[in-house]
Each structure stands twice: as structure tokens, then as C-alpha cells.
Amino acid sequence: MIRIVEQRANKKRRGGGSYRREQFFHVRGTDDADAAYSEMFRNVMSRNNGMYEGFPLDSIEVEESEDGGNFCKATVIYSSAVPRLMINRPLVNFSTKGGTARIRTSRETMQAVGRNGRTVPNFHGGIGWQGGKCEGVDVITPAWTKTVAIKYLANVVDQQFERLLYGLTGTVNSHTFLGMNAGECLFYGCDVSDSETTDNNGNRLLTKDLLFEFRGIPNIRGMFAGDIGPFDKDGWDYVWEFYREVPDFGSKNMIQVAQGIYVERVYDRNDFNIFGF
């Protein structure tokens, strides 16, 4: 278990309209600087979006202990950028348009009509049987996409922060995040670009504009595929069917019918609340 322990009193300096606060910590329970950085970033951003006494985060510096102990040293710095510049404050947008998915079983077979009144095979909800398998059909589904735009001081977006983003891309939320339940939200990645702004004194501040993209698929409980079920599927788990050739006595044909459903976990899970929004 990783634990953050403050080491000594904060150093605070204010003068001439400037502000700087340094905080010093030990991150105990790991000697991996990347893991320690992730935990420190989670801790800092979970408190008022990384603001301290109205001033934004300047940088987080983490280094492995030179003493060989199972801990890392961390320094957190806040500085005098003016808070109303929207630094560290996320802007969230979402869309539910444009999604399609291929399904191979229907909710219900409404009719099955044969030539000259003959009995046709019962595929138990299977759609588009051709050449020994059900091809299925594409249907419209919600494309649950959320983007979060946020501006950080340039010092915050260092190589450790870049590694954090890299490691979380292509993973799914392990806890509730942006209104989506655990298992529903996939982190699709983040675009980062240089920017700048000025404080009230006209001082130029180097910043970074970040655009996070998340995609969502709702969890489903008590799901059926044809007449097989019920089973549960978390949003980004993958479902596939096992087919077997069986006789259809009504039509006197051999047909492929789904015999089993498999729900596979294909994405790692992470706590996205580390982002602080």
C-alpha cells in the first residue's frame, strides 16, 4: 500500500505580488518514481483541482530514495499564477452521436415465413445465417464520448506526467468517473499543445493545453443473446458466442446455433480520479 507522509514544514514566500509554496513528502510503499508520481498527482489534484490558497500547481518533482529504502521523495510547488486564468479548471463536453455495433442475435424473432408454407429453421435469434455462421447486422448505438479541456502551467506537464498519461491510455475506469460507473469509461488518450497566458502584472506564463478524450459503453446486467442468458457484461468487456451444428427437426436441416456465451476482460483497469476532475 502506498502512503504519502509530509516530511517538514512548508516553505512559504510572498513578496512583491509573488507567491511560492513548497511542500516536501515521502511516498512510502514504493521505490518506483513513476508509481510515486501517480500517487502524488492523484493526491494533489483531488484537493480543489490542484489549487492551494487560490494559487495553482507549479510542479511535482519525484525522485527515488538514495538510501535504498522502499520510498520516494516528492516536492510539490505552488506559485503565483493568477487563479482566474482558468488554470487547473476542467471544461467538460460530451456527445452520444454516431455509434454503430454489430449484433448477431436479435431481441426477438417476430416472423419466420417459408416458401409454400414450409417450416423454416429456428436459429434461436441468430441473424443472417450464411455459409455456416450468423453474419449479424450493424445497428445504431450511443457513441458515448466525453472530452475534458484543461490548462496547466507548463512545469506540470513534465516527462513523468507524460508517462502517466501514456500508462493510462487504453485502460478502463475501476471507480465511478465523470458520471460513468466502473467498467464503462475507456481513456482514449490526450492531446497536448503549447500555450501561454499572462498574469495581472503582465508577466508571461508558459502553459499547456490538454484535451482528454474518454469513450463510454454502459454496463448491462441480466443480458440475453438469443435464448442464452442471463449474463452480465461490463461496458468494455468483449462478448463472443460459441456455435455448434445441430439438427433442426422442424425444417429437417442442420444449422449452426449458439451454444454458449463468453464474456472476456480485454482492458486493464485504473482509477481515473487521479486526473482530479
Higher pLDDT, 100 or 222: 222
What pLDDT does 116 receive? Answer: 75
In this prediction, what percent of the chain has a pLDDT beyond 90?
38
> For 226-254, how does the pLDDT look when each residue is reduced to its tens digit (9 = 90+)?
778 899 999 999 988 887 777 877 777 77
Under a CB-based contact definition with an 8 Å cutoff, are residues 135 and 127 in contact?
Answer: yes
State residue 54's pLDDT score.
Answer: 79
Residue 168: what pLDDT? 96
For residues 83 and 51, the answer to whether their CB atoms sit within 8 Å is yes
Dist CA 168 CA 164 (whole Å): 6
Secondary structure letter of residue 235 according to DSSP: T
Least confident of 11-20, 110-119, 148-157, 202-211: 11-20
Tens-digit pLDDT profile for residues 108-145 = 788 888 777 778 777 777 787 776 677 778 887 777 89
How far is Cα 33 from Cα 160, in angstroms, rounded to an integer? 8
Tell me whether residue 58 is exposed, middle or buried, using C-beta atoms within 10 angstroms of its C-beta: 0 to 12, 13 to 18, 19 or more. Answer: buried
Position 28 scores a pLDDT of 92
Angle subtended at Cα 40 by Cα 39 and Cα 46, rounded to the nearest 5 degrees: 90
Q: Which residues pair with 71 in a beta bridge?
A: 28
Place of cell 455462421: 133
Residues 149-177 pLDDT 10s: 999 989 899 999 999 999 999 999 999 99
Give start-end residues of each CATH 3.30.200 domain in the chain: 1-80
Q: What is the pLDDT of residue 82?
A: 57
Cα separation, 27 vs 63, whole angstroms = 10
| pLDDT confidence tier of residue 105, bands split at 50, 70 and 90 | confident
User: How deeply is 195 buried, as exposed, middle or buried, from its count of CB atoms within 10 A (0-12, 13-18, 19+)?
Assistant: middle
- Name the pairing type of β-strands 172-173 and 269-270: parallel
Query: Using alpha carbons only, what angle is made at residue 201 by residues 198 and 205, rounded to the nearest 5 degrees?
Result: 25
Using pLDDT thresholds of 50, 70 and 90, give the confidence band for residue 210.
Answer: very high
- Angstrom distances, CA of residue 254 to CA of 133, 197, 247, 250, 251: 12, 71, 4, 11, 9
DSSP symbol at 165: H
Average pLDDT rounded to a whole number, residues 55-69: 85
Predicted confidence at residue 233, as pLDDT, reads 94
Q: How confident is the model at residue 86 (pLDDT cuts 50, 70, 90)?
A: low
pLDDT for position 132: 67
Chosen CATH of 1-80 out of 3.30.460, 1.10.3470, 3.30.200, 2.70.220: 3.30.200
pLDDT for 130 equals 74
Average pLDDT over residues 252-258: 74
Point out the least confidently predicted range of 169-173, 181-185, 271-275. 271-275
Mean pLDDT of the chain: 85
Residue 216: band (very low, low, confident or very high) from pLDDT cuts 50, 70, 90 = very high
